[in-house]
Amino acid sequence: MSVTTDQMTAWCRAILGADGALRLPLAEQLEQIPRLAALRDLPAGSIVLVRGDVDCKPGAEIGAGDIRLRSMLGTLRFGHSRGWKQVICGHIGRKPEGSLSKVRARLEELLAAPVAFVEEWLDEKSLTLTPAATEAIANLPNGGFLLLENTRRYAIERVLWKAKPGDLPKLAGDLAKFAHEIATKIGTHYVNEALSAGSLDTSTVVLPAAMSQAVLGEYVAGEFDGPMRRCLETELVVFSGLKIDKLDDLQAMIDRGKIRHVFAAGSLAVALKKGAVELDGGKFSLGVAEDAGHSDKPYYIPPERIEQARTMIAKGRQEGIEFVLPVDFVLADGRVAAELGPGDQQFDIGPATSELFARKVGEFIAAVQARPAGSPPAVAFHNGVFGMFEDPRFEAGTKKFIGELKRMKDAGIEVYIGGGEGGTALERYGQPDWVTHCFTAGGTVLNALGSEPVPYLVALRRRAQER
């Protein structure tokens, strides 16, 4: 499909949310996006572009570091059984120099089939496919697989990362040209099978504009239709992390009206703690986190975030929401303190907080088990870790709480981990069956459940609407 510059400008404005359209509930978005089955009648020999979840570091053997690749197998085998020629694209890491060569080797093992590989597939000056790419596509047999090297090695893939609506007139021409080139030289059937690809990558949010059909892959659709929708019913949420903007995601989740208990740690927790203490007429220091001299650091918490936290606590209390916040912290030098001094920075929750969290989990379990027989299962959602857990000095809080997730699961509560560092902690300190489900994409899950739409869902829904 040909896309004009004006059409691409309008498309990208929608992706960036510049038109002020109301955000649809997740379930309503999903209902409007076609699934893999919509392509079932494509004949053998059809070329299908698969935006794959290839951002991983395969270990020494199958099953090590390749969970995202394994998530793609259902879709890839579906296409293989129908004789499609599948061209897989995606990124690895944020740096352009990253390579997918090891990913290609693991894909061959998982698929038990050859996977062709093209390193230099785009001429950046002309935004056209290289002869090596067009030759590889032409030589691809029915049922074959071709992996394109890291999409982020090309600047066109990254142009929307920091783009503002006002930048689009100067970007849309190249984006339209690139999208047209892909549609013409590869094909107009597109599958998104990359749950974790929540960034504004061109391959993720722009290419669907030039496709005749753009659908969700088998795994991604299953994650959204099943576990993600269950997480919308969360009653108890465990939120942590360094990024204070997670307050926006927490607020969005609370606003759905289901959450009754909030366990918090990290920067999020100290902001909420300060807000709660001030509401009660006291004072609480955030240490270096509120020092304007550290405003360029990721742990800095500006005054407006404190006000946001204070408002959230006040409103939550009125609605009967319980905020379970740390009562002690592990500081940089290993000391445990109930309060932070001007030069202090917290790196983990303290032992008294771990005990408090365990007690409150027990109270939640008891309340759930006291419900009438036949009541629907309660849902708990865990996101993030409690400190700098990669350092053994600051892992105790995270390590202990992973056991609390198992305790809830054993009590019949559905427990979901939002991927990312939380998933790493489960792998390090627990077992997969200690929770109901662990997502493979932390940021995407927060977008879906929190304050921002998932960009690729916006793109796929828009493509479906414009057909």
Residue from 257, 379, 373 nearest 318 by CA: 257
How many Å apart are CA 236 and CA 354, to the nearest integer? 16
Is the pLDDT assigned to residue 25 strictly greater than 90?
Answer: no
Stretch among 29-38, 140-149, 386-395 having the lowest mean pLDDT: 386-395
Q: To the nearest whole percent, how much of the chain has pLDDT over 70? A: 98
pLDDT of residue 319: 94
pLDDT per residue as tens digits for the range 172-220: 999 999 999 999 999 999 999 999 888 999 999 999 999 999 999 999 9
What the block records as the tokens of 136 is 């590889």
pLDDT surpassing 80 at residue 1: no
What separation, in Å, do the N-terminal and C-terminal C-alpha atoms of the chain show? 11
The mean per-residue pLDDT over the stretch 51-68 comes to: 92
pLDDT grade for 35, boundaries at 50, 70 and 90? very high
Q: How many CB atoms lie within 10 A of CB 49?
A: 25
Mean pLDDT of the region 320-327: 96
Looking at the chain, the whole-number percentage of residues with pLDDT higher than 90 is 76
Beta strands in 130-205 (DSSP E): 145-148, 189-193
Domains of the chain: 5-223+455-466 (3.40.50.1260), 232-435 (3.40.50.1260)
Q: What is the pLDDT of residue 173?
A: 97
Task: Render pLDDT for 361-420 as a digit per residue (tens, 0 to 9).
Answer: 999 999 999 999 999 999 999 998 898 888 889 899 999 999 999 999 999 999 999 878
Per-residue pLDDT, averaged over 97-119, amounts to: 97
Q: What is the pLDDT of residue 316?
A: 94
pLDDT of residue 298: 83
Query: How far is residue 338's CA from residue 134's CA, in Å, rounded to a whole number?
Result: 63
pLDDT of amino acid 274: 93
At residue 467, the pLDDT reads 66
